[in-house]
Amino acid sequence: MTSEALLSARGLRVVIDGLHILHGVDLDVAPTGVTALLGRNGAGKTTTVKAVMGLVPRTGDIRFAGRDVGRLPTHAVVRQGIGYAPEDRGVFAGLTVAENLRLAERDADPAYPFVYELFPELRSRGRQLAGTLSGGQQQMLAIGRTLLNANRLIVADEPTKGLAPKIVAEVADVLARVAERVPVLLVEQNLALVRRVAGTCTVLADGRTAHQGDAAELLADEEAARRLLGVGGGHPVAASSIATAAPAVAAASAATATATATKEAP
Amino acid sequence: MATVVLLACTGLGLGALYFLIASGLSLIFGLMDVLNLAHGALLSVGAYATWWGAAQAGLNYWLALAFGTAFGTVAAVVLELVLIRPLYTRPRDQILATVGVGLAVPALLMGIWGGDARPFPQPESLAGTVHIAGAAVPVNRFVLIGAAALVLVALRLFLARTRYGLIVRAGVEDRAMVTALGVDVRKAFTLVFAIGGAAAALGGGLAALYFGSVNPGQGANLLIFAFVVVVMGGMGSVAGAAAAAVAVGLVQQFANYYTADGLGDLAVVALLAVLVLARPRELTGRLA
Amino acid sequence: MSTVTSSTPPTPAVPSPSPPSSATGAPARTARIALLRWWPLALFGVLAVLPYGTVRVPGLLDGPVGSPGSLQLLALCLVFGGLATSYDLLLGRTGLLSFGHALYFAAGLYFTDLAMLEWRLPLASAALVGIGGAAVLSVLLGAVSLRVTGIGFAMVTLAFAQAGAILVQRNPGGVTGGEEGRAAPSDLLPGSLIGIENTPNLYWIALAYLALTLAVVHWTSSSPTGRVWAGIRENERRVEVLGLRPYGFKLVALAVAGTLAGVGGVVYLLLTGGATPQAAGSDTTLSLLVMVVLGGSGTRWGPVLGGVLYTWAAHRLGDLANSSAIADLPGVLRVPLSQPLFLLGSLFVGVVYLLPGGLAKLSSRWRPIRGGLTA
């Protein structure tokens, strides 16, 4: 898997204020589809993602698309082609929705048609202050920002955290569609969502990599899932809400496909 | 009535001066978390450069002011690039470095031009007074107010309409997230220092006109009142700084005149403590 | 003063147990350690007999060491060494960046002076008023300013100190004497402290003050409270997690440091014979900050070193500038060299930038080299 991984980290360590938070994380992100980063609370998932992005001081080897990015500052990492939607969404509350998007523009020709196709509300609410959006809308904005540029990887840290089940289903749809275009590294606690979208997964425990492999296999193995994640199967509530949303997904992904086609035509 | 008008105009002029210092201080702190204790030194540099242009090089006032402002801008950029940037990961040392500069620059000015105040040549066109409601108000008060208003409008346009303005506004909210969008904020740091230095140096050139003289300690004396304005107006808020500057300038003038001399200064300084204590969240947690 | 505190960073005067070199005899090493351990006492012994010294130190001091002029300057150096040590209790030991330490120094200075002038109290009682005033003030203002942390704390302390400076300068009721300040009444001072021939007595008082601050800072910071201070400096949250309230501990640090600064104010009053508003100015606090960082914040001897060096330089470099050696230099060199504060400010920036531990760290950097030479 290492040879073909889009992003691979080896022996990632993070020390903040004298506290060792990561002791040696190995992570491989598959070049297609969704790679899930799992683990119990406090296992070091968010820190791992931040270390990859250069948002916390880190040591270890990080390679992205064959390039060493382990010593690059955050903005340079991002410019390698990584879109990042952080845990707390990271939208600028005092800026309008349109300004939030404008700030994220890196390419000469940002993919506004695709983003607005996916999230029509971001267009209609363009002049609204992002701080007045609902949690779900803010998450759409955070994901929309990563899709403006021709990124080679999207990193989404707990995009469904704190959202109502119906919104969780919408986010799941979006992630599934995004993953058709560009590989995704997904930090997620919602295992039903993981089961639906993720191909491979990495499990962290106490700041170390505890398991790497196929996501569906892991979640099918009740004993392993309980041992590594502290849970049995998926959450029934979340699972059902995603199931009911499924028909909408099919319709929407057709629209996405058209949008993608028009975008890439010229 | 005449006294009130004169006090109001003088207070507004003083407020304009505070705004010119505080706006840059506020943006620098808001974006970079750097409490720039060398900001008063930048004002002094601007004041002396303007004085040098007008009194030594024989430029007319406006040219001298432009020269002083440009000189202060360059000084601020050098300060950021040479001293602040290498200490980016050591916030406390950044403050200490600005303390050192704040001590060294006035001393250098003193070494070159002496510790005593140097009279500033008043240009003919600005030497007169304007009569409003029976009060003879010196013209230079209106020059200060006008300059501050121009700077306010320019800063607002910069923040609202330009990409770097957008980066600054976003960076004041969450600097790390701006870098996580692929933006190199260090360029914005240098730019904000340049803007702050320009405004402070312009303030220095105007302060020379307002006080009629320049002395090495001028900047440091004004800095404390600028702190009050920054805290009162809210970190990183230019409009807030403008409103607070007007309030502080007026309160100080009226209190100094109608109560014991110096009580206005005391009241304003006490206000700083009260504000910080009343709204600790504005400042807390920015520096461990 | 014999053991290394747990709170000091690893730059002890006593070398940590070095890898046992079997060849050298154990007694020799013990003797060397004893020497290193007791050198402060030896130093204080030497300092105590300086008034009897007739040695000339050209360049460093004008007259012989024991001459009144030299002793006066040395005493000032010692007082600021002590003041810097008291300030470092906040900055280096507890991690508090205060911009208001000069206020307590000025409180000790002015309260003592005014108690003599206005209430006609004898020196001893007046000194108690001054020190007590500084202590009460530091507790009251500390209790308020500690409600905020970080930059907020720095700003509140700056505001309080500036308010004090304005008050002193504006001369309310003619009490403080405004810009001129007020001279201490010679009729209330003991005869042994007045007059040029009694300078050695003042010098010894300054030396005693330095010893007192060093002892108090050393004792408190190696006490259980001091260990909490060290914890607060490293990571305040972790102290909270342990169930301790940092607030109370920080207040104790402010009170101890403020009281010591008040004592320094009394000594300064005796030394200079009066109270002037410069003592209350923010420049005084900034100078203390420079001294501490220059010498080495959080170390035992660094603040003393910084305070002595700074005070000496501030007084002597100005004189040096008028000497022919510098007066003949071209303006580009002469002007900056004639301004002690410019040199000190630049040196300070250089130390912050290149030598984060201060001058005290230099000795630990040299140690391996020295060790290599003696081995």
- Pairwise CA distance, residues C203 & C185, whole Å: 20
Domain boundaries, chain C: 64-374
Q: Is B269 in contact with C159 (Cβ distance < 8 A)? A: yes
The partner residue sitting opposite B173, judged by closest CB among A74, A75, A93, is: A93
Whole-number Å distance between alpha carbons of B249 and B271: 13
> Cβ separation of C166 and B262 shorter than 8 Å?
yes
What does the buried/exposed string (b/e) look like for C353-372 if buried means 16 or more CB atoms within 10 Å of the residue's CB? bebbbbbbbbbbeeeeeeee
Residue C92 distance to chain A (closest CA, Å): 17
Across the interface, whether the CB atoms of A73 and B179 are under 8 A apart is answered yes
Q: Which of C150, C339, C353 sits opposite B287 (nearest CB)?
A: C150
- Torsion angle of C-alpha atoms A171, A174, A179, A185, degrees rounded to 10: -30
User: Across the strands, what pairs with A62?
Assistant: A9
In terms of C-beta density within 10 A (0-12 exposed, 13-18 middle, 19 or more buried), how is residue B220 classed?
buried
- Give the integer Cα–Cα distance in Å for B25 and B32: 10
Give pLDDT, residue A238.
42
Per-residue confidence band for A79, with pLDDT thresholds at 50, 70 and 90: very high
Angle (nearest 5°) at CA C131 between C129 and C134:
105
Residues ≥6 apart with Cβ < 8 Å to B36:
B25, B28, B29, B98, B196
Q: Which residue in the set A84, A95, A149 is minimally distant from B180, CB to CB?
A: A84
Instruction: For an interface test with A, give the residue of B164, B181, B184, B189 to mutate (most A CBs within 10 A).
Output: B181
pLDDT at residue B98 in the model: 92
Q: Which chain C residues have a beta carbon less than 8 Å from that of B265?
A: 166
**Interface with C, mutate which of B231, B276, B282, B287 (most C CBs under 10 A):** B276
pLDDT of residue B227: 86
- Report the C-alpha gap between A133 and C367 in whole angstroms: 61
Q: Is B180 on the interface with A (CB under 8 A)?
A: yes
Q: Measured between CA atoms, how close is B105 to chain A, in angstroms?
A: 33
The per-residue pLDDT for range C259-301, each reduced to its tens digit, is 999 999 999 999 999 999 888 888 888 899 999 998 988 888 9
- Give A-chain residues touching C235 at CB under 8 angstroms: 17-18
Residue of higher predicted confidence among B74 and A224? B74
- pLDDT greater than 80 at residue B5: yes
Which residues of chain C have a CB within 8 Å of the CB of A18? 234-235
- Tell which residue, A97, A119, A100, A107, has the closest CA to residue A178: A119
Top-confidence range, B48-52, B264-268, B277-281:
B48-52
Q: Do C345 and B277 touch (CB under 8 A)?
A: no
- Number of Cβ within a 10 Å radius of residue A65: 14
- What is the distance in angstroms between the Cα of C300 and the nearest Cα belonging to chain A? 24
- What is the signed CA dihedral for C305, C308, C314, C315, rounded to 10 degrees? -150
Q: Between chains, do B167 and A75 touch, taking CB under 8 Å as contact?
A: no
Give the ranges where C120-198 is alpha helix by DSSP (H).
Answer: 123-145, 150-170
Q: How confident is the model at residue C159 (pLDDT cuts 50, 70, 90)?
A: confident
Q: Which residues of chain C does B92 touch, with a Cβ-Cβ cutoff of 8 Å?
A: 97
**What integer pLDDT is reported at residue C58 of this predicted model?**
74
Q: Which two tokens stand for residue A184?
A: 């995704």
Give the CATH number of domain A2-87+151-264: 3.40.50.300
Number of A/C CB contacts below 8 angstroms equals 4
Choose the mutation target among A74, A80, A147 for the interface with B, i.e. most B CBs under 10 Å: A74
The mean pLDDT of C22-45, rounded to a whole number, is: 69
Q: For residue A250, name the pLDDT band (cuts at 50, 70, 90).
A: very low
Average pLDDT, chain C: 83
Check if B96 contacts C (Cβ < 8 Å).
yes
Output the pLDDT for position A224: 80
Adjacent-strand bridge partners of A20: A15
Local confidence band at A2 (pLDDT 50, 70, 90 cut-offs): very low
Residue B230's closest chain C neighbor by CA?
C155
Better-predicted residue by pLDDT, C365 or C122: C122
Beta bridge partner(s), residue C275: C182
- Helix (H) or strand (E) run with residue A119 in it: none
Residue B95 has pLDDT above 80, yes or no: yes
Chain B residues with CB inside 8 Å of A147's CB? Answer: none
pLDDT band at C28 (very low <50, low <70, confident <90, very high): low
Query: CB of A266 within 8 Å of any CB in chain B?
Result: no
**pLDDT tens figures, C177-192:** 888 889 888 888 888 8
B86's CB contacts (< 8 A; 6+ apart) are C353
On chain C, the residues whose CB falls within 8 A of the CB of B272 are 155-156, 158-159
Amino acid at C16: S
Q: Do A75 and B184 touch (CB under 8 A)?
A: yes
- Domains in chain B (CATH in brackets) are 2-282 (1.10.3470)
- Tell me the chain B residues in contact with residue C345 when contact means C-beta distances shorter than 8 Å: 100-105, 107
Tens digits of residue pLDDT in C48-85: 878 887 777 777 777 787 788 889 999 999 999 999 99
* Percent of chain B scoring above 90 in pLDDT: 52
**Sequence-ordered list of residues with C-beta below 8 angstroms from that of C82, at least 6 positions apart, any chain:** C206, C209, C210, C212, C213, C214, C260, C264, C267, C304, C307
More confident residue, A81 or C315: A81
Is some CB atom of chain B closer than 8 A to the CB atom of A78? yes
A74–chain B nearest CA distance, Å? 6
Which CATH entry fits the domain spanning C64-374: 1.10.1740, 1.10.3470, 1.10.150, 1.10.1660?
1.10.3470
d(CA C79, CA B35) in angstroms, rounded, equals 30
Average pLDDT over all residues of chain A:
84
**What is the reported pLDDT for C25?**
54
What is the nearest CA distance from C235 to chain A, expressed in angstroms?
7
- How far apart are the C-alpha atoms of C112 and C135, rounded to whole Å? 13
Q: Which residues of C touch B29 (CB under 8 A)?
A: 151
> Is residue B287 predicted with pLDDT exceeding 70?
no
